[in-house]
Amino acid sequence: MHPTDFTLRGALDALTEGTISSVELTQAHLDGIAKLNPRLNAYVTVTAEKALAAAKASDERRAAGQVGALEGIPLAIKDLFCTAGTRTTAGSRILDSFVPPYESTVSQKLLDDGAVFLGKANLDEFAMGSSNTTSASGPVENPWSRANDPDTRLVPGGSSGGSAAAVAARLALGATATDTGGSIRQPAAFCGIAGIKPTYGRCSRFGIVAFASSLDQAGPVARTVEDCAILLKSMAGFDPKDSTSADLPVPDFARACERGVKGLRIGVPKEYRLDGMAPEIVALWEQGLQWLRDAGAETVEISLPHAKYALPTYYIVAPAEASSNLARYDGVRFGMRVTEPGSDLRDLYERTRAAGFGAEVRRRIMIGTYVLSAGYYDAYYLKAQKVRALIRRDFENAYADVDAIVTPATPSAAFGMDEKQDDPVAMYLNDIFTVTANLAGLPGLAVPAGLDAQGLPLGLQVIGRAFDEETVFAVGRALERAAGFSALPRLRAGA
């Protein structure tokens, strides 16, 4: 077996048994990166020397009997997490040369548990996008391709496209990601892997470049549900440096995976049966529900009457918060600066921000600035926060009757790099099934569940109650077991 074919769980077992070392495991992944990253562009920065030194230190700790929960496991870190001494770009020109002097809480927790960082994963600029085509470091390619059309290069989804592509192509055993409207779950589904956005407050946001603070959550992507559970256990936990961090114990998520679904009531939102939905997506959804019934769960139709307003609500709240958060990029304290001879301070701000931000980021800052501007705040932002309260209430009502909700993860499989790029609203519709969980703050897991007619992966989504990731993992694992998803992308290490 090639070392890059291990699951994270399998690699931990092999390291424990001594059949492989962290240095060997890390080197195999670095070899895969050297071979495939020039094409996939999944990594923005590869920290090969640091990774090998960390792997060697991990092997020494293991030999001395000090074994962390992720001891020696090579991971990719989305380039939105600040990493001390390693450039962190957020996929933006404006942070092109930014080297954080501090470490994000989530990445520090992974280091504390013995993980090895291979490098920083590509992403849409400031995590704004659903295709990973807005990165200043160039687009990421999905390692999958259509069976009947292998030459059309597909997007990996976004914004965590580099994380998802790296894990799918076996260039990391797992990766950190973030999800503001679907940025973990949509790329996971497009790349045939699993990914969970936990409950808002479960993972600290300290040291993660902010996009929309009331929606942003960190989470893992990995090739199995159990691997996600192992990673989330390490990433999660209370952090006094994040005022919205939840002061709650972190359960043993991996153990919850094997709970089974017998007796669970699974909600099926009728509003998610969209007009014109691809028949393959409808069929996969039905199949998933049947798998759960076969495993002893009961499926129940529920109603989320305000779900259809989720995307327009999101496209007020997220740009508004982004326009505030991104005000810090002023060309003065860090990041790039652009001036002309004779520029005054205002001109410095305006030139720096015009040159430093890409088109999608500029567009969202302007929308956000408008909806927050004097005279329009009530009509837009306040209205959206009221609709958001109704969306959360819809879920509260549903969870009086069901334990979890199952939906498709995305309205389609991965699309071509040149498709859907002209119309922002068409691009935004990618998040139609995922964005409600961000607005309501709830956990959502994407699980690979099947292939479309062209051989591309499709995912299902499990949405849970607040802070009940355990049930989400149990349902996700049951779907994963029944689906037996074993297809592989064409581009992958060791192939």
Partner 1 sequence: MSLDTATIRRIASLARIRLDDSEVEQAQAEINGILGWIEQLQEVDTDGVEPMAGGSPVAQAKARLRPDAVTDGGQADAILANAPDRQGEYFGVPKVVE
Q: Output 315 or 485, the one with its CB closest to partner 1.
A: 315
Q: Does 481 bind partner 1 (CB under 8 A)?
A: no
Q: Output 120 or 492, the one with its CB closest to partner 1.
A: 120
Q: Are 26 and 75 in contact (CB under 8 A)?
A: no
Q: Give which of 457, 135, 456, 454 is closest to 446, Cα–Cα.
A: 457
Instruction: Name the catalytic one among 92, 107, 159, 323.
Output: 159
Residues 103-162 contacting partner 1, CB under 8 A: none
Residues 250-309 contacting partner 1, CB under 8 A: 306, 309
CB of 469 to partner 1, least distance (A): 12
Q: Output 170 or 202, the one with its CB closest to partner 1.
A: 202
Specify whether 159 is catalytic: yes
Q: Does 485 bind partner 1 (CB under 8 A)?
A: no
Residues 181-210 contacting partner 1, CB under 8 A: 199-201
| Choices 68-76, 223-231, 330-338, 478-486 (CB under 8 A): range interacting with partner 1 | 330-338
| Among residues 34, 282, 366, 487, the one that binds partner 1 under rule CB under 8 A | 366
Specify whether 58 is catalytic: no
Specify whether 78 is catalytic: yes
Q: Output 7 or 343, the one with its CB closest to partner 1.
A: 343
CB of 320 to partner 1, least distance (A): 11
Q: Are 112 and 128 in contact (CB under 8 A)?
A: no
Q: Output 290 or 339, the one with its CB closest to partner 1.
A: 339
Q: Does 351 bind partner 1 (CB under 8 A)?
A: yes
| Among residues 44, 80, 254, 365, the one that binds partner 1 under rule CB under 8 A | 365
Instruction: Name the catalytic one among 21, 78, 104, 107.
Output: 78
How many amino acids of this chain bind partner 1 (CB under 8 A)?
A: 74
Q: Does 313 bind partner 1 (CB under 8 A)?
A: yes
| Choices 47-55, 112-120, 237-245, 402-410 (CB under 8 A): range interacting with partner 1 | 237-245
| Choices 29-37, 138-146, 183-191, 361-369 (CB under 8 A): range interacting with partner 1 | 361-369
CB of 239 to partner 1, least distance (A): 11
| Among residues 354, 397, 401, 487, the one that binds partner 1 under rule CB under 8 A | 354
Three state DSSP letters for the chain: CCHHHCCHHHHHHHHHHCCCCHHHHHHHHHHHHHHHHHHHCCEEEECHHHHHHHHHHHHHHHHCCCCCCCCCCEEEEECCECECCECCCCCCHHHCCCCCCCCCHHHHHHHHCCCEEEEEECCCHHHCCCCCCCCCCCCCCCCCCECCECCCCECCCCCCHHHHHHHHCCCCCEEEEEECCCCCHHHHHHCCCEEEECCCCCCCCCCECCCCCCCCEEEEEECCHHHHHHHHHHHCCCCCCCCCCCCCCCCCHHHHHHHCCCCCEEEEEHHHCCCCCCHHHHHHHHHHHHHHHHCCCEEEEECCCCHHHHHHHHHHHHHHHHHHHHHHCCCCCCCCCCCCCCCCHHHHHHHHHHHHCCHHHHHHHHHHHHHHCCCCCHHHHHHHHHHHHHHHHHHHHHCCCCCEEEEECCCCCCCECCCCCCCHHHHHHHHCCCHHHHHHCCCEEEEEEEECCCCCEEEEEEEECCCCHHHHHHHHHHHHHHHCCCCCCCCCCCC
Q: Does 333 bind partner 1 (CB under 8 A)?
A: yes
For partner 1, what does the binding mask look like between residues 209 and 228, x meaning CB under 8 A? ----xxxx------------
Q: Kindly report the CA angle at 281 between 279 and 282, in degrees rounded to 5? A: 65
Q: Output 4 or 461, the one with its CB closest to partner 1.
A: 461
CB of 53 to partner 1, least distance (A): 23
First to last CA, the chain: 11
For partner 1, what does the binding mask look like between residues 399 and 438, x meaning CB under 8 A? ------------------------xxx------------x
Q: Does 29 bind partner 1 (CB under 8 A)?
A: no
| Choices 124-132, 280-288, 367-375, 410-418 (CB under 8 A): range interacting with partner 1 | 367-375
CB of 240 to partner 1, least distance (A): 7
Query: Mind telling me the catalytic residues?
Result: 78, 159, 183
